[in-house]
Amino acid sequence: MPGSTLAPPAAPGERSAASVTSHVSGRRGPSLWMLVPAMAFFAFFGLVPLLGTVVLSFFTWNGLGTPSFAGLDNWTTVLQRSATYHALWLTILMCAATFVVQFPISLLLGVFMAGRQRYRAVFSVLYFLPLLFSATAIGIAFKNLLDPNFGLSSALHLGVLQQDWLGSPGLAFWVVILVVSWCFIPFHSLLYQAGARQIPQTMYEAAQLDGAGRVRCFFSITLPQLKYTIVTSTTLMVVGTLTSFDLIYVMTNGGPGDATRILPVDMYLQGFQSNQMGLASVIAAILIALGLTFSLVLNRLSGSDRMESQMEGM
């Protein structure tokens, strides 16, 4: 075209002006200033309490008077207590046991509910009921239902139920694990349901044309496609169990003896019953370190830090 100002073709090994402009424009996006409200919210409600807890772990304070600097005395006391290591062991055991219970049930329920049939929607509503109740209400309900004097065993007169479920050190810990799992399975089922519905239907159709059955499709398509959902759900299961307190405190108060005294319960009892906020802050710092370590290890092992969209065209 006469008068046009077409740029000459770029020489081999040189980047054209258009590619440079495209590269620069590709780096443009929402301003980083849009992150300020979220970062301010996180700093105020996340970082400030965290730093306050770490600082308080070096002070002696009963919750009312003036804190006095204690150096490393609180840390030495907590790390020399046998109760701390017992609580740490129970916490790790509870994380592992709740994962073993929750993961397969949540996965199967989520995949089942991902179907489009109407009766599955009805079942979904029923499965999600535990998610609607508060942990305190669930704890009180199960504590009364499992009471050996006037609970289910007394009402139904079934010999198998006539146990002191929450009063026996050998039973209480496992009963608490089942109740905690019952509370959180609906939430993780919801995650798996959403993940399963994102799997392209064409993958199943192609597999069925090759003669694959439902079991083969589940293990060859569904499970691999839910990899990142599994990582997210597992992280939430572990971190959620690490912070479980209200349900366990209402049901057993850490007992009988110290059978269910996991780290969060131990932290509360030290801080608000023994009035030793410094020791409680040390236990809180250990919990934070434990949660961050679990999350980082899970993300590193699973490669979720390299997550990419698995949706068609994305």
The 10s digit of each residue's pLDDT in 274-292 is 889 999 999 999 998 988 8
Segments forming the whole domain that contains residue 181: 55-302
pLDDT digits (tens, 9 = 90+) for 132-181: 888 889 999 998 888 888 777 777 777 777 788 888 888 899 999 999 99
Taking each helix axis from N to C terminus, what angle separates 227-242 and 82-113, rounded to the nearest 10 degrees?
140
In CATH, what number is assigned to the domain containing residue 248? 1.10.3720.10
* Residue 59 host element (H or E): strand 59-60
Displacement of CA 201 from its chain's centroid (Å) = 29
Q: Give per-residue pLDDT as tens, 59-105.
A: 998 888 888 998 899 999 999 999 999 999 999 999 999 999 999 99
Q: Does residue 165 form part of some domain?
A: yes
DSSP character for 9?
A: P
Of 309, 118, 105, residue with least CA distance to 195: 309
> What is the pTM for the complete model shown?
0.79
Whether residue 290 is contained in a domain is answered as yes
Q: What is the pLDDT of residue 303?
A: 67
Average pLDDT over residues 191-208: 90
In a domain, 238, yes or no: yes
Give dist(CA 20, CA 27) in Å, integer.
11
In a domain, 25, yes or no: no
In a domain, 239, yes or no: yes
Q: Is the pLDDT of residue 25 over 80?
A: no
For residue 306, the model assigns a pLDDT of 59
Cα–Cα distance measured from residue 136 to residue 236, given in angstroms and rounded to the nearest whole number: 20
Residue 205 lies in a domain: yes
pLDDT digits 0-9 by tens, 215-256: 899 999 999 999 889 988 998 888 888 888 888 999 998 888
- Nearest CA among 186, 268, 151, 136 for reference residue 260: 268
**Residue 48 falls within a domain, yes or no?**
no
Name the domain count of the chain: 1
Q: What is the pLDDT of residue 310?
A: 53
- The answer to whether residue 284 is domain-embedded is yes
